Structure 1
Amino acid sequence: MIQWRFSPRSSFARTLLLIVTLLFVSLVTTYLVVLNFAILPSLQQFNKVLAYEVRMLMTDSLQLEDGSTLEVPPAFRREIYRELGISLYTNAAAEESGLRWAQHYKFLSDQMAQQLGGPTDVRVEVSKNTPVVWLKTWLSPDIWVRVPLTEIHQGDFSPLFRYTLAIMLLVIGGAWLFIRVQNRPLVELEHAALQVGKGIIPPPLREYGASEVRSVTRAFNQMASGVKLLADDRTLLMAGVSHDLRTPLTRIRLATEMMGKEDDYLAESINKDIEECNAIIEQFLDYLRTGQEMQTEVADLNAIMGEVVASESGYERQIDSEFATGELLVRISSLSIKRAAMNLVVNAARYGNGWIKVSTGRELQRVWFQVEDDGEGIAADQLQHLFQPFVRGDSARTTSGTGLGLAIVQRIIDAHNGVLDVGTSERGGLCVRAYLPLLSEASSVADNGATKES
């Protein structure tokens, strides 16, 4: 299939271009039809009448239809000159009277020559309000005949052009409005599909528009309903499993409390395993919760990262920080972004050698935060699988975990229309940077005003 290089991509632009093209073709076709079947025959008739007038003025007698001749008195010819406004000029006088501005028309000259029976030069002067026809015939080769077309004015054609332009604009405007109305359900369908892609199930869409669009909308509603049912079943299953697992874990913990002092080492080991199981269960629940709709607010990314550094730093873990100057205002779910940053810090502590750094910054219309460590890093061929569920960067490591931490980060950043980027830290370890859309100044002012009013 042929792909045009500059072909519009949206159906709205393509349909509008098609309508405008068809309108243009229709106008050109109409022009050609009017030209060939109305204007040109009228010009031929006009040339024939004008040729009779010129022949009558240039000769003393006229050939009648019955073969007889009619003498034309000079007084009669002068009267015709006066009534028709016809003037005779020499070559020099004609140049001074406007002939220099006249345009030669070959097809008019050929038709006039055929009517007069000899070479004829026909020129039309349109520089004035009233068009003027200049003729030089073989009957009087040194004389130019000036014939003003007093019944034709250039202003007579202005309404035609205005009406044609107005009709074209109305048709294009109507087509634009019609296509907008037809594409409206498709736009709603696109927005709803993007929400489903982020794990947010929208309410059923209203089925309207063309029959094909209604069918697609109905199928989408059925698909969204099925996805929601599967997500609800998955959440219910995981919640039930976690509840059922925590009950025996609690009993095991109680059993360790009743063990003797000689078994303290064994009890401590069992309690660590219980804590690890609880952490795994909590991570499963966190992964499920990230697919739910989040409440967003305007927040300062520097403040959120400062809270993360303060909460994750301690006696055994020191976190370096480097924040951008000023406020980095973003519309986010503060709790979700904090959870994502904490997961990155935990991942850095688990696979690094003790050094962790949290940074923020601004880049064009985006802000970012990143977490670095000094571990061994990740092989380039494993980066594309790093954020998939149940996948860890190094399968040879025996570190505990489910492989859901970075998958949770990916889902949180996706829900905020952000992007994750993985690279190498300044100390050779892993560097994970999350980009988020920067809140515009106009939006921040409006949000602050709404907050004050509330």
Structure 2
Amino acid sequence: MRLSWRAWPSSLFVRMALILLLGLLVAQGLSFWLQWGERATVVSQARGQNFADRMAEVVRALEATAPAERSAALATLPYGDWQVTLISENQVSQNPPRGPVGAMLSARLGSAREVRPLGGAAGMGMGMMHGNMPRGFDVRLQGGQWLRFSGARQLDTPALPRDLILRLAVTLMIVTAVVMLAVRQATQPLKQLAQAADTLGRDLDAPALAEEGPTETRRAAQAFNRMQARIKRLVNERSRALAAVSHDLRTPLTRLRLRAELVDDETLRDQMAADLDAMAAMIDATLDYLRGLQTSEAVRPIDINALLASMSEDALVLGRRISIQGQALAPYTGRLSALRRALQNLIDNAIKYGTCAHLRVDDDAGELRIMVEDEGPGIEPHELARVTEPYYRPDASRSSATGGVGLGLSIAKDIALLHGGDLVLTNRAQGGLCATLKLPRVAAAAA
């Protein structure tokens, strides 16, 4: 089955560490396997040579003894873990001579001897070279007498010494620590770059990245700093342009308003005044939106409960109905004027289309959520994602009747994004719209 990258952890640090550690474990396992095989071969060869030496001593002693006295001589010879008996011709193993034991025995005796492995151990002559000792052999003495060497048990390759296992474990831990350190050094610049990019989205005056470290890291930091400088320069130029446009547009509007007062036709004069008011409202709203994300307001702790209470009192003065349910558990770190503006836009929108506004506060350690609900007709589901776009109005006639130009929700969403959050619109089951201002506390604290 093909392994998908989606099954891997999302962290680049964890992915790189797993890949390197997996490669390390495979290499260590292969090295251990090769070392174990080499050890088994060496141990088997040593056992085979020791066994051949013992066989040669016994064979040499028995061949120097008269055939009639060999049974008595066997009782005086050392056999170790082996049993040595004289057998008849019809008891001899039918396995063909094979393996290195016969050659080693013949080399020690100075002349060839026929050696046959016992029973199912026909291949044990080679098995002795790969880790296991054979169970026995039949050896033909000079003169035709057969001698059987049989083992009580089959000996396996001894386990690795504890000191070798300890050294392997220590080596593995040291290499693992080095791998983790190397991966951390490789991924740390990416983490810093991501944090700087996130901070830049909230604060153009954030400190520049340190241009240090390897060549690739320095180049990335330099490119990011150049991008930040260009963005800041463009935003400052737009600020100056907006200030000039704001002044230049209001001057002719003021002159047109004065000239409209000189019109004798009262009906025409009222129509011209209404058009001028609409133009002024559109210009103010557009300039308000364009300058919305370039605020230089400082970030500070905000008492959300006191802010909502003051906005509720202001609404009562204007005869508006606002209810508040729930409360923030702790102050929120953000921009006071921007948040007040976003909440005011949401409240105005709820009152325009739903006659009242119900505020609900839901807070926890990770996120502050302020829901503004109304009792209006709501919004078509397919329009929910588009109504926060600038100048987009799903019902133009209704918006014009309420005096909006389609920027209130856009400004509120931009302010939410400025704080690292979002604005989510949903239709209520009982009717009306719910606008949820999501403000993450972690992102706000980082700002």
Structure-2-length-normalised TM-score: 0.71
CA RMSD of aligned residues (A): 4.6
Name the residue aligned to 1:331.
Answer: 333
Moved more, 195-204 or 401-410: 195-204
Q: Show the 5 A alignment for 1:291-440.
A: 291-292=294-295, 294-315=297-318, 317-324=319-326, 327=329, 329-350=331-352, 352=353, 354-362=355-363, 365-397=366-398, 398-399=400-401, 400-425=403-428, 428-437=431-440
Name the residue aligned to 2:32.
Answer: 31
User: What do the CA deviations read for 1:373-430 (whole angstroms, capped 9, x no partner)?
Assistant: 3333222222111111222342333243332221111011112222322122466332
Greater gyration radius: 2
Q: Shift of the alpha carbon at 1:342?
A: 0.4
Q: Shift of the alpha carbon at 1:134?
A: 9.8
Q: Is the 2:304–2:328 contact (alpha carbons within 8 Å) kept by the matching residues of 1?
A: no
- In the alignment, the residues of structure 2 paired with residue 204 and residue 220 of structure 1 have an alpha-carbon distance, to the nearest angstrom, of 8
Q: Is the 2:285–2:407 contact (alpha carbons within 8 Å) kept by the matching residues of 1?
A: no
Name the residue aligned to 1:118.
Answer: 117
User: What do the CA deviations read for 1:246-301 (whole angstroms, capped 9, x no partner)?
Assistant: 33445566778x87999799589838945972674266235424344553333343
- In the alignment, the residues of structure 1 paired with residue 377 and residue 180 of structure 2 have an alpha-carbon distance, to the nearest angstrom, of 58
1:216 aligns with 2:220: yes
Name the residue aligned to 2:196.
Answer: 192
Name the residue aligned to 1:14.
Answer: 15
Name the SS for the 2:361 alignment partner: strand
Residue identity in the other structure for 1:22:
G
Q: Show the 5 A alignment for 1:242-253.
A: 242-250=246-254
Percent identical: 23
Name the residue aligned to 1:172.
Answer: 176
Q: Which runs of 5+ in 2 are unaligned?
A: 85-97, 105-114, 122-131, 140-146
Q: Is the 1:135–1:146 contact (alpha carbons within 8 Å) kept by the matching residues of 2?
A: yes
* Structure 1 pair 427–26 and aligned structure 2 pair: CA distance change class (3 A): closer
- In the alignment, the residues of structure 2 paired with residue 434 and residue 413 of structure 1 have an alpha-carbon distance, to the nearest angstrom, of 7
- In the alignment, the residues of structure 1 paired with residue 442 and residue 237 of structure 2 have an alpha-carbon distance, to the nearest angstrom, of 36
Q: Shift of the alpha carbon at 1:217?
A: 3.3
* Structure 1 pair 49–142 and aligned structure 2 pair: CA distance change class (3 A): closer
- In the alignment, the residues of structure 1 paired with residue 328 and residue 232 of structure 2 have an alpha-carbon distance, to the nearest angstrom, of 41
* Structure 1 pair 262–142 and aligned structure 2 pair: CA distance change class (3 A): closer
Q: Is the 2:376–2:431 contact (alpha carbons within 8 Å) kept by the matching residues of 1?
A: yes
- In the alignment, the residues of structure 2 paired with residue 163 and residue 382 of structure 1 have an alpha-carbon distance, to the nearest angstrom, of 67
Name the SS for the 1:435 alignment partner: strand
Name the SS for the 1:371 alignment partner: strand
* Structure 1 pair 217–63 and aligned structure 2 pair: CA distance change class (3 A): farther
Name the SS for the 1:417 alignment partner: coil
Name the residue aligned to 1:100.
Answer: none
Residue identity in the other structure for 1:322:
I
- In the alignment, the residues of structure 2 paired with residue 3 and residue 293 of structure 1 have an alpha-carbon distance, to the nearest angstrom, of 45
Name the SS for the 2:436 alignment partner: strand
Name the SS for the 1:305 alignment partner: helix
* Structure 1 pair 176–114 and aligned structure 2 pair: CA distance change class (3 A): same
- In the alignment, the residues of structure 2 paired with residue 3 and residue 184 of structure 1 have an alpha-carbon distance, to the nearest angstrom, of 25
Name the SS for the 2:391 alignment partner: coil
* Structure 1 pair 190–321 and aligned structure 2 pair: CA distance change class (3 A): same
Q: Is the 1:89–1:145 contact (alpha carbons within 8 Å) kept by the matching residues of 2?
A: yes
Name the SS for the 2:406 alignment partner: coil
* Structure 1 pair 365–78 and aligned structure 2 pair: CA distance change class (3 A): farther
1:42 aligns with 2:76: no
Name the SS for the 1:402 alignment partner: coil
* Structure 1 pair 293–79 and aligned structure 2 pair: CA distance change class (3 A): farther
Q: Is the 1:259–1:267 contact (alpha carbons within 8 Å) kept by the matching residues of 2?
A: no
- In the alignment, the residues of structure 1 paired with residue 82 and residue 51 of structure 2 have an alpha-carbon distance, to the nearest angstrom, of 15
User: What do the CA deviations read for 1:307-346 (whole angstroms, capped 9, x no partner)?
Assistant: 221112335x322313116745433333322211101112
Residue identity in the other structure for 1:338:
R
Q: Is the 1:392–1:403 contact (alpha carbons within 8 Å) kept by the matching residues of 2?
A: yes
Name the SS for the 1:384 alignment partner: coil
Q: Is the 1:298–1:329 contact (alpha carbons within 8 Å) kept by the matching residues of 2?
A: yes
* Structure 1 pair 137–298 and aligned structure 2 pair: CA distance change class (3 A): farther
Residue identity in the other structure for 2:386:
H
Q: Is the 2:332–2:441 contact (alpha carbons within 8 Å) kept by the matching residues of 1?
A: yes
Q: Show the 5 A alignment for 1:90-105.
A: none
- In the alignment, the residues of structure 2 paired with residue 314 and residue 272 of structure 1 have an alpha-carbon distance, to the nearest angstrom, of 29
Q: Is the 1:56–1:62 contact (alpha carbons within 8 Å) kept by the matching residues of 2?
A: no
Moved more, 47-56 or 273-282: 273-282
* Structure 1 pair 21–353 and aligned structure 2 pair: CA distance change class (3 A): closer
* Structure 1 pair 59–18 and aligned structure 2 pair: CA distance change class (3 A): same
- In the alignment, the residues of structure 2 paired with residue 4 and residue 63 of structure 1 have an alpha-carbon distance, to the nearest angstrom, of 73
Q: Which runs of 5+ in 1 are unaligned?
A: 65-70, 91-108, 123-131, 445-454
- In the alignment, the residues of structure 2 paired with residue 172 and residue 248 of structure 1 have an alpha-carbon distance, to the nearest angstrom, of 73
Q: Shift of the alpha carbon at 1:364?
A: 8.3
Name the residue aligned to 2:243.
Answer: 239
Q: Is the 1:386–1:392 contact (alpha carbons within 8 Å) kept by the matching residues of 2?
A: yes
Q: Show the 5 A alignment for 1:126-205.
A: 138=138, 144=151, 157-198=161-202, 200=204, 202-205=206-209
- In the alignment, the residues of structure 2 paired with residue 80 and residue 415 of structure 1 have an alpha-carbon distance, to the nearest angstrom, of 92
* Structure 1 pair 2–216 and aligned structure 2 pair: CA distance change class (3 A): farther
* Structure 1 pair 142–33 and aligned structure 2 pair: CA distance change class (3 A): closer
- In the alignment, the residues of structure 1 paired with residue 212 and residue 62 of structure 2 have an alpha-carbon distance, to the nearest angstrom, of 77
Name the SS for the 1:29 alignment partner: helix
- In the alignment, the residues of structure 2 paired with residue 262 and residue 142 of structure 1 have an alpha-carbon distance, to the nearest angstrom, of 135
Moved more, 289-298 or 224-233: 289-298
- In the alignment, the residues of structure 2 paired with residue 112 and residue 299 of structure 1 have an alpha-carbon distance, to the nearest angstrom, of 90
- In the alignment, the residues of structure 1 paired with residue 227 and residue 361 of structure 2 have an alpha-carbon distance, to the nearest angstrom, of 40
